[in-house]
A and B are shown apart, each in its own frame.
Chain A
Amino acid sequence: MTINALQFILIVLLSGFRAADMYSTQLFPFQHALMCWVAGIILGDPNTGLVVGGTIQLMSMGAAGLGGSSAPDYGMAGLVATVLACLAGTDDISVGLAVGVAVAMLYVQLDVLFKIYNSWVFKVIRSHAAKREYDKMLHSFFLSHVYLFLQGALPMAIVLAFGQSAVDAVLAFMPAWFTGGLTIAAGILPVTGFAMLLTFMPVKKFYAFLIVGYVLSAYLGLTVLPIALLGGAVAIEYFRLKSSTTVTTAAISENGGELEDE
């Protein structure tokens, strides 16, 4: 498909907003699936947006705990992948996904540039404060917002302008094993999100619940929502038992004390 001028502008604005929102207002932080869905709606293909966004969301789990430049910028990956998948117009999202992740690996290196730029912004803010120019000082804070917006918007404009022809060129050259490989990789890549997340969780203490979740879905065929509800029920009971054990132990020792007194 081709995109019209309005779609071009909306997607560029969305990409700029997402980049700025991630660090500043945090209205939709890490909600990549939502952003991809919105991008899909703009491009007239919400379903592709959902599928790409869901895959990226699962890949990105745990990335919030890392921060900085140690993981790809999954928000950017999601938007680029959604745009390319919608432009390609096929059901196969694997090429868009692979290019999106590649772009996001390069894009995240800009994070360092941003922090260096911010050191300059800090100097501006501080010198205005020292000179007691408070209005200028308050305005200078927004230099960071503007930079982030551009950092999200400009690469997206380039992707929109050249993305389709670039992907077409790649597709024309690509042997079957490569496209096949990307499709396989698209199925496997969510594993990185789960693994990354597990490194932040008390796996040694509660690994049994990994088995419970696996059994509920693999053998009993439950979907993720009922499994989350069951897990929630266990969590509530655990919380109640644990909190009341602390109280009971306290009560018992109190009773013991009374008996001795008698």
Chain B
Amino acid sequence: MSNFFKPADFKDFDEAPAPQQLPDGSYEPVLTKEDLNICSRRMCLMDTVSYSYATQNAPCAAFSAYYALRKIYGSDEDAFNTAMLNQLDCVFNATPPVSGLLLGAGLAVEDRGHLGGMEAENDLKVGLMGPLSGIGDVFIWILPMTILGSIAGYMAMQGSPVGILLWFVLWMAILGWRMQNYNQGYSAGAQVITNMADKLNILTDAASILGLTVVGSLIYSAIKISTPLTFQYGDISLALQTGVLDAIFPNLLAVIAAVVVYRLIKKGVKLNWIILGIIVISCVCSAFGILG
């Protein structure tokens, strides 16, 4: 287990080799695939757990890179200390499962440039964390939530765990990919993130089509509102729900509710007030027999 989060060949300052400077002023890169995989695994332990108002998520990045930095600076404890404090102090915040791409690219700069490359590494991290999170939020949170989350949620409401298991399996695949993402970032550098942003636009649109189709179906099937009101014209009685509303559009009240709540959120009404409002309206309508 110790080799899972810590390199097997870890050496303390007094045993580690001194960094090898090349004639052009850069350094011989020392990080191996395994070193970077360890960074990825360490990131899985942390994600956003150290998020604070001080340097946001920087401590998590520092924790992940700890053994990689120890290896880069070898016996040079002063340089390591400077680099470590820099990791802690350089503001960082990106979608956790993909942040390894960017942090790996940063380590590639530091592996060659050492303290001289630190400035470039910081600029890289701060400059690209926004775009990377934009991609990450869509592909890691919003799309799985729409498609897998809604299938899981809807099937669970019907009493079936199949959707839950489907989501679980696919999430494990993402975790598997995460376990090596520092390597991808390290070898591809900053370019991969910039390229990704261009290519992924079409993919995001395509996935949105799938997501919206699913949401459209769930507005009909997962929201339950109906009214027991009945109109009486002499001998003829007309049930408002089955006779009028369903004849216009099936589950029309759910569609109206979706449009109203969507507008309210767009206008910036706090979600908690909307939830309370729904509960209050439900109680009032229940008391007067308008809904049921």
A58 lies within 8 A of B147 (CB): no
A31 contacts B167, C-beta separation under 8 Å: yes
Contact with B along A96-139 (1 / 0, CB 8 A): 00100100010000000001101101110110011010100010
Asked if B149 contacts A227 (CB within 8 A), the reply is: no
**In the bound complex, CA of A58 to CA of B94 (Å):** 26
Is B230 located at the chain interface by the 8 A CB criterion? Answer: no
Please tell me if A217 contacts chain B, counting CB pairs below 8 Å. Answer: yes
- Counting residue pairs across A and B whose Cβ atoms lie within 8 Å, the total is 343
Judging by beta carbons under 8 Å apart, are B287 and A181 in contact? yes
Most buried by B among A47, A178, A196, A217: A217
Q: How far is the CB of B260 from chain A (nearest CB, A)?
A: 8
List, in ascending order, chain A residues with CB within 8 A of B55's CB.
122
B residues 214-246 with Cβ under 8 Å of A?
A: 214-225
CA distance A219 to B221 in the complex (A): 11
With the chains together, A69 CA to B49 CA distance in Å?
16
Q: Is B154 part of the binding interface, using a Cβ–Cβ cutoff of 8 Å?
A: yes
Nearest CB in chain A: distance from B99 CB, A: 12
Closest B residue, CB atoms, query A202: B208
Task: A41 to B225: give the CA distance in the assembly, Å.
Answer: 30
Which of B152, B261, B283 lies in contact with A57, CB distance below 8 A? B152
Interface size class of B (residues with CB under 8 A): 35 or more
Residues of chain A contacted by B48 (CB below 8 angstroms): 23-24
* A188 within 8 Å of B (CB atoms): yes
Smallest CB separation, A15 vs chain B (Å):
17
The residues in A between 63 and 78 inclusive whose CB is less than 8 angstroms from any CB of B are 64-66, 70-72
Q: How many residues of A contact B (CB 8 A)?
A: 106
Q: Which of B172-194 contact A (CB under 8 A)?
A: 175
- A182 interface contact, C-beta 8 A: yes
Distance to closest chain B CB from A178 (angstroms)? 6
A187/B213 in contact, CB under 8 A: no
- CB–CB B214/A228 < 8 A: yes
Q: How far is the CB of A224 from chain B (nearest CB, A)?
A: 5
Contact A58 B153 (CB under 8 A): yes
Q: Which residues of A contact B21 (CB under 8 A)?
A: none
Question: Which of A155-163, A165-173, A236-244, A251-259 is the contact stretch?
Answer: A236-244
Whether B209 and A185, one on each chain, are in contact in the complex, defined by CB atoms closer than 8 angstroms, is no
> Smallest distance from the beta carbon of A22 to chain B beta carbons, Å?
9
CB distance from A210 to the nearest CB of B (A): 4
Q: Which residues of A contact B16 (CB under 8 A)?
A: none
B197 beta carbon closer than 8 Å to chain A: no
| Contact of B223 with A190 in the complex, beta carbons under 8 Å | yes
**CB-based contact A23/B47 at 8 Å:** yes
**A235–B209 CB distance below 8 A:** yes
Interface centre among A64, A200, A212, A228 (most CB of B within 10 A): A228
CB within 8 Å of A: which of B91-124?
A: 96-97
- With A115-B53, A214-B255 as contacts: A141 and B46 at CB distance below 8 Å: yes
Chain B facing A: main interface SS: helix
Residue of A nearest to B77 (CB): A132
Chain B stretch 24-55: residues in CB contact (< 8 A) with chain A: 44-55
A130 to B86, CA, bound (A): 11
Say yes or no: A37-B219 contact (C-beta < 8 A), given A28-B171, A195-B262, A238-B206: no
Q: Is the CB of B153 within 8 A of A119?
A: no
A121 touches B50 (CB 8 A): yes
Please tell me which one of the listed residues A189, A211, A217, A239 contacts residue B206 in the complex, with CB atoms under 8 A apart.
A239
Contact indicator A198/B215 (Cβ below 8 Å): yes
A36, closest chain B residue (CB): B156
A105 to B272, CA, bound (A): 7
Residues in B neighbouring A30, C-beta threshold 8 A: 141, 145, 149
Is B196's CB within 8 Å of the partner chain A? no
Q: Does A201 contact B (CB under 8 A)?
A: yes
Given contacts A65-B137, A65-B141, A189-B275, contact A33 B164 (CB under 8 A): yes
| Contact between chains at B218 and A224 (CB < 8 Å) | yes
A218 touches B164 (CB 8 A): no
> Does A180 make an interface contact (CB < 8 A)?
yes
Instruction: Kindly provide the distance from the CB of A74 to the nearest chain B CB, expressed in whole angstroms.
Output: 11
> Measured between alpha carbons, how far is A60 from B150 in the docked complex, in Å?
10
Distance, CA A5 to CA B54, complexed state (A)? 41
Instruction: Write out the residue numbers on chain B whose beta carbons fall within 8 Å of the beta carbon of A20.
Output: 49
B171 touches A210 (CB 8 A): no
**Given A118-B50, A122-B50, A141-B46, residue A234 in contact with residue B161 (CB < 8 A):** no
Complex interface residues of chain B between 245 and 285 (CB less than 8 A to chain A): 249-251, 254-255, 257-258, 261-262, 264-266, 270-272, 274-275, 278-279, 282-285
Query: 9 A-B Cβ contacts within 8 A?
Result: A26-B96, A30-B149, A51-B157, A61-B145, A119-B54, A144-B49, A177-B287, A213-B219, A217-B220
In order of increasing CB-CB distance, the 4 nearest A-B pairs are A213-B216, A181-B283, A54-B156, A57-B153
